[in-house]
Structure 1
């Protein structure tokens, strides 16, 4: 065994070029596999360690909104009380209701109090929460910790933040003061628990006691995304039966509400049970500040890893086969000295094992580099190495798998070399130089994969460019956004201060215009149903997006006024400007026809005074919906500032001046600005990350494919050495020989192109279907991918082709 390893190392050292290319090709693909494995393992580890995970469910709310189905992660606040009272057989009904506070203050007897602005991860719940989840208690206990209304339980990390230097038991009964938007409450610490598993959707750090109260009927009709309810029941309880009972409870309350209040609107909503094991992957539910992962994307990444590893193995096969002619004499000698098939195969597999092992070691260096380069895409809490056992299993699995998959065929091929032919200068490859060999078929397969990735990179790049640079219906250039934090907008101390600040900002000559209001295009939205009743016809009701704006808004964003006029200054909404889609939705014949018509919401009717062109309000996945602009002083809290492009050198100074003026009115540290261009780009962060991953994968696929092509070109040059020598003696030029050797590779790429094109079209057409506004797939995208692959292939084989063409024909013909 030791002798075999030494022989393998000697051979690998002797063939430095092929060894280096093999190791590097395998290392690159294995490093990608490791990164993807760590990412997939990380995402599927959420709540994996909960003993009862398979028996825990979330109640979520589905509803029809403007003829579109969507889901909310929350429920009506009283629902948990109804389930506890009327649905038997459930072990735990756990309410987890998000709490929002503007600041926290902790008194410090020895100095100034600790103040934390905008604290996060606060929930209100009860003792059922700690019965369902296995927290470790450092002080206090699960049964009594949340028994009083003023009770507060902290995690260890939050306790250390609020009470540095204190032990958990010493924190019990200490007071924490919470400042809300309209109230101030004091809580006494009744318990401290160890921090929960970081890979969990249970991320709360502070726990209030949820007050027991009688909810009014109207509360049963509301849904709040931060009010979550979890259920735990044993395996004998059917989730379908439980859901039917829950729906009956909610339906009964809704019927009582309709009988008592007689609402004029209809509610189309329903409840569903979402298994906790699927909650992290519920991307169809929009939830604020909750990180999720898409199973389809993760499985797609696993497929990418498998393809890249397969390409590397194919590359290894081709490179190994390319070396066999040069090793024919060595093989012949081994056979003459009694070497059997098993010995030859074993020797080659040991060489493959050593190569793969070195590649695995290099892959971890490249993997760490990959984690660094992709740090803004990968989850922040993912670890490079992870646990030792999965690491060992991964190394063993990859090493043995690649050794067998990549090494068996070349090893078997070695045994086919006949000793007699070797010493007569004839090898098995000299019998046939045309047709499709296995090596050529593998090269075609590699380039099929590479062409699919190249085409995908072109199309995703074009769609992203289209989303960011196409006409959005408004001018976003040189616009800076500054939002007034909501806690200041509801504080009487800062009432209407934004208008004072607006006048101060306008004194700067670099600022051309300022409009107050919600941006045209954003992630969030506000909407309500409005109706119009044409004379003698049925009432038309439509859901309308609402944009709160001032009188400068239309001019700043250069919205085109198709009919009517701009809004007039007003403290409250007295009139509307609608978009073209709304004009069509209400059946107005033309923009001019809409002017003066009255839109109603409940008993309030206001006139349409203007119609503007359509503009995008959400990303390109979403259609342009009916929208209105309205002026209401209390709702315009975002500065939309148009800067002078000709004075861009002075922008930095302008920002400093604005911050000084801001700090004179609002608390220091709350001034934050962003360019609107950047805000829109963030809406396509997922697409940009996808484009980066595809580009990176494309580069790796091309690199590995070219290594395989290099091996095949080497083999071909060896096979045709004497033919080339004869052609040169008969007067063939270098360029003619290069063309001769390159011609077959052109055919290989063309075959790959014909096969890859419909596959790439099908895959990318499916991806584009998610966009309402999308590019059309055009022929030149496939042509560009094919031309690029062909150019790369020709560049790759040109080295061996030129080397063969420049070789001395005397040397190649000497044995004849």
Structure 2
């Protein structure tokens, strides 16, 4: 039995085909079907028949999904030709032509594909990083209702933003503001020692209120959100901590665990390990009331220690809540409505990670600025890659001019030509996307190591492929648009009469694209230089003390009460120069107090001082400079009530001869015994604050850190001896130590990552730009073969030829440097404003960036220029 084509396909063909052509068309289609059955089989022939019939479907304007037959068709009309040329058969032909062109012009194809692939790989990496950054804290179910409190403190005609809040604030807000449904205090992290039997380990410990797990969506494996932190002795631990001490989460619940070797806590909940996408990180949470029991000073409204978070009711208006809390502190502040007062403000919790900086006590930027910066960099690099494509495609248009001319003569219309060239660009873009995904997969491990992330290529995520598809279409259309419209606009008569000559407009456009391309590259290079210099500056700046060869370890357990014995034994180690102690970390101190006064001070105009308890030999151990007076000394018993201040504090107090003058801190009154030269005890993002140091004697001592200065090159043996001493005096606690220089550098981790990324992206931008220059230089050398041969015959040297070919490319590079410099200066000045201490932007940075760009551009085009200049003129003239 003879195979018949699909009946429904025939009916559709009759419906869409003109009446006077139906019989002829059906006959031709049936003949083709019979042929294909014998060649590829009936099943495939039927599918192909359907495909060919669909090629006849014509959708009229205004009927996007309708099929409507025409009573008559003029096959000589452009509209009919368009329909025919966009049929599946012709699309296959266009695809074949595109493949042949790519294979025929291997250099052009490789340069374009590599440039686009690198640009898109960079964009994809940045996109994945931005998505990961924006996903932080997005997993909380109540994120739209969660807020954090920050304070605006007004004093001395100034205002400053503070994130640390009074200890009682969370509970008082929940009690006083009806719209606030839940609230919790959350203390800063500390490394605490826990033990179960013979198992002893340190864990990152925070404290939180009973509402914490009701507010935040940390998954509980054991226990309930209501009971997790209900009692003073409650402790919620992570899965990993449960496995370390008890073997499993199930075995941990309800078991006691020894805290700091001084009291037992009860495991009331086990939560899944805190995800990387969480701003708050902790191994375990202690009950806030239990923390207050150990630290009664945190119960007062004068001291600031924890963060305060709250959750409003679903029907509450955040603006009305903020209006209610603004002056909430007035009733607890005896100096309300005077020059010194405090206002409360609130910020959505999910914005906390990306927006954490203050400007005039208002939330203003933070990591979000880096997201914007690198998103812009991704666009820059993708634009540079697309410009390469445009320039090379238009430069090569002379080789395809005759093709365009012939096709126009035989009836091709401009829309079809535009479609073909856009299709070729899209095909090359598809290959580039495939290559870029491969690059991303290979680079992700290194990228994660650099950024400290755990980003994976989301190949199972449909949204990723949707974004990738959108990026493909966008890049293909952007890169292929100008070449497509330029080539399709060529006059067939002019083209077929002789060689194509570019007019001034097209030449200027191509030069303008090169200028724009190198302007973006110069901006990135300048940014790279300035960011590198600033990061180097903050890491090497003289802080006012010597952070090299300075270690510290916590005075916990018996070390605190046996500090004098500890110091004596450590001092016997030959490689130890000095030993002292302080209540804070040498690398960072963020605590504050307003309870400082002195004779003549205005009680209504308070200033926040940074307090720190120190031991004897503190100045020598830290290598601080004493401007006036002296350090604490055992020879002076009255030093137990004395104070050391820094220059910033002296400036606030205003004493002309400060030594011996009195200061009152709360109920403690003492004399100034010394003035220290200002030193940085916080990051260089903030100015040096007034500091007041008191002698941390046995009666006052409550933990803190021992600080030890050791001889250079003897770190390993010194640490081994320190561990022996600490284990002997404090056997219940593991020995944990920190290097001051490393902890200080950790404060600038974001800047270090930005610096490295800026280096890589700037290199990538200039590399892609030079790929374009290399392609243009190759094309130019080919186009000017006859001219070069004639010049050599007339006596031009190789140097003359190289200079002639190079100058055309160096002009747009030079213009790009001039245009990019002011933009780069503005952008980097804005970035540097985030530092209280920063470098100056100097002229040589722009000269260096420009010189690098010119040198790299010369190196890129010199290969082709020298190759063309060395060519035998007889051979080149014969070929012409």
Give the TM-score normalised by the residue count of structure 1: 0.83
SS at 1:125 equivalent: coil
Distance across 2 between alignment mates of 1:250 and 1:583: 29
Superposed, 1:288-687 pairs within 5 Å as 294-332=367-405, 334-335=407-408, 339-385=412-458, 388-419=461-492, 422=495, 425-429=498-502, 437-477=508-548, 479-483=549-553, 485-486=554-555, 488=556, 491=557, 493-517=558-582, 522-528=587-593, 529-533=595-599, 543-569=608-634, 573-589=640-656, 593-634=657-698, 635=701, 637-645=704-712, 648=713, 650-667=714-731, 670-687=734-751
Q: Does the 8 A contact of 1:325 with 1:718 survive in 2? A: no
Compare 691-700 and 191-200 and name the one that shifted more: 191-200
Q: 240, 246, 255: which is aligned to 2:319?
A: 240
Distance across 2 between alignment mates of 1:353 and 1:603: 77
Q: Does the 8 A contact of 1:514 with 1:642 survive in 2? A: yes
Distance across 2 between alignment mates of 1:113 and 1:473: 44
Q: Does the 8 A contact of 1:83 with 1:93 survive in 2? A: no
SS at 1:633 equivalent: coil
Q: Does the 8 A contact of 1:531 with 1:539 survive in 2? A: no
Q: Does the 8 A contact of 1:97 with 1:227 survive in 2? A: yes
Distance across 1 between alignment mates of 2:738 and 2:281: 29
Deviation, structure 1 residue 391: 1.4
Deviation, structure 1 residue 405: 0.7
Distance across 1 between alignment mates of 2:709 and 2:798: 64
Deviation, structure 1 residue 307: 1.2
- In structure 1, the partner of 2:60 is none
Q: 23, 39, 53: which is aligned to 2:129?
A: 39
Alpha carbons of structure 1 residues 142 and 502: separation in structure 2 relative to 1, 3 Å: closer
SS at 2:99 equivalent: helix
Deviation, structure 1 residue 480: 2.5
Q: Does the 8 A contact of 1:520 with 1:547 survive in 2? A: no
Compare 730-739 and 296-305 and name the one that shifted more: 296-305
Distance across 1 between alignment mates of 2:873 and 2:511: 27
Q: Does the 8 A contact of 1:177 with 1:186 survive in 2? A: yes
**Greater RCO (CA < 8 Å, at least 6 residues apart):** 1
SS at 1:428 equivalent: coil
Distance across 2 between alignment mates of 1:674 and 1:149: 31
Q: 119, 122, 129: which is aligned to 1:29?
A: 119
Q: Does the 8 A contact of 1:521 with 1:619 survive in 2? A: no
CA offsets, 1:327-363, max 9 Å, x none? 4455455556655434443333333222222222222
Q: Does the 8 A contact of 1:501 with 1:661 survive in 2? A: yes
Q: Does the 8 A contact of 2:207 with 2:288 survive in 1? A: no
Distance across 1 between alignment mates of 2:740 and 2:252: 46
CA offsets, 1:420-474, max 9 Å, x none? 5555551133x55x99521110110011111111111222222222323333333
Q: Does the 8 A contact of 2:422 with 2:476 survive in 1? A: yes
Q: Does the 8 A contact of 1:525 with 1:546 survive in 2? A: no
Q: Does the 8 A contact of 1:101 with 1:178 survive in 2? A: no
Q: 176, 190, 195: which is aligned to 2:256?
A: 176
Deviation, structure 1 residue 392: 0.8
CA offsets, 1:51-77, max 9 Å, x none? 553344344444347876444556555
Alpha carbons of structure 1 residues 705 and 264: separation in structure 2 relative to 1, 3 Å: closer
Compare 276-285 and 726-735 and name the one that shifted more: 276-285
CA offsets, 1:204-223, max 9 Å, x none? 776778879x9999947256
Deviation, structure 1 residue 225: 4.8
Deviation, structure 1 residue 744: 2.5
Compare 785-794 and 706-715 and name the one that shifted more: 706-715
Distance across 2 between alignment mates of 1:398 and 1:726: 47
Deviation, structure 1 residue 728: 1.6
**Number of aligned pairs?**
776
CA offsets, 1:642-661, max 9 Å, x none? 3334xx2x543333333333
Superposed, 1:73-92 pairs within 5 Å as 73=163, 75-79=165-169, 81-88=171-178, 92=181
Superposed, 1:43-54 pairs within 5 Å as 43-48=133-138, 50=140, 52-54=142-144
Distance across 2 between alignment mates of 1:95 and 1:561: 43
Superposed, 1:190-205 pairs within 5 Å as 199-200=277-278
SS at 1:693 equivalent: helix
Q: 763, 769, 793: which is aligned to 2:827?
A: 763
Alpha carbons of structure 1 residues 669 and 293: separation in structure 2 relative to 1, 3 Å: farther
- Structure number, greater radius of gyration: 2
Deviation, structure 1 residue 401: 0.9
Distance across 2 between alignment mates of 1:151 and 1:617: 35
Q: Does residue 805 of the first structure (1) align with residue 872 of the second (2)?
A: no
Q: Does the 8 A contact of 2:173 with 2:183 survive in 1? A: no
Alpha carbons of structure 1 residues 240 and 178: separation in structure 2 relative to 1, 3 Å: farther
Alpha carbons of structure 1 residues 711 and 577: separation in structure 2 relative to 1, 3 Å: same
Alpha carbons of structure 1 residues 309 and 417: separation in structure 2 relative to 1, 3 Å: same
Q: Does the 8 A contact of 1:440 with 1:712 survive in 2? A: no
Compare 27-36 and 607-616 and name the one that shifted more: 607-616
Distance across 2 between alignment mates of 1:575 and 1:89: 48
- In structure 2, the partner of 1:268 is 341
Q: Does the 8 A contact of 2:788 with 2:801 survive in 1? A: yes
Deviation, structure 1 residue 24: 1.6
Q: Does the 8 A contact of 1:464 with 1:687 survive in 2? A: yes
Q: Does the 8 A contact of 2:579 with 2:617 survive in 1? A: yes
Q: Does the 8 A contact of 2:207 with 2:287 survive in 1? A: no
Distance across 2 between alignment mates of 1:792 and 1:573: 65
Deviation, structure 1 residue 714: 2.9
Deviation, structure 1 residue 13: 2.3
Alpha carbons of structure 1 residues 501 and 276: separation in structure 2 relative to 1, 3 Å: closer
Q: Does the 8 A contact of 2:166 with 2:305 survive in 1? A: no
Q: Does the 8 A contact of 2:179 with 2:312 survive in 1? A: no
- In structure 1, the partner of 2:76 is none
Distance across 2 between alignment mates of 1:9 and 1:62: 65
- In structure 1, the partner of 2:25 is none
Q: Does the 8 A contact of 1:82 with 1:249 survive in 2? A: no
Compare 92-101 and 712-721 and name the one that shifted more: 92-101
CA offsets, 1:704-739, max 9 Å, x none? 111222233234334433322222221111101111
Q: Does the 8 A contact of 1:72 with 1:225 survive in 2? A: no
Distance across 1 between alignment mates of 2:382 and 2:338: 57
- In structure 2, the partner of 1:289 is none
Superposed, 1:149-228 pairs within 5 Å as 164=247, 174-177=254-257, 179=259, 183-186=263-266, 189=268, 199-200=277-278, 219=299, 221=301, 225-226=305-306, 228=308
- In structure 1, the partner of 2:15 is none
Deviation, structure 1 residue 510: 3.1
- In structure 2, the partner of 1:796 is 860
Q: Does the 8 A contact of 2:394 with 2:483 survive in 1? A: yes
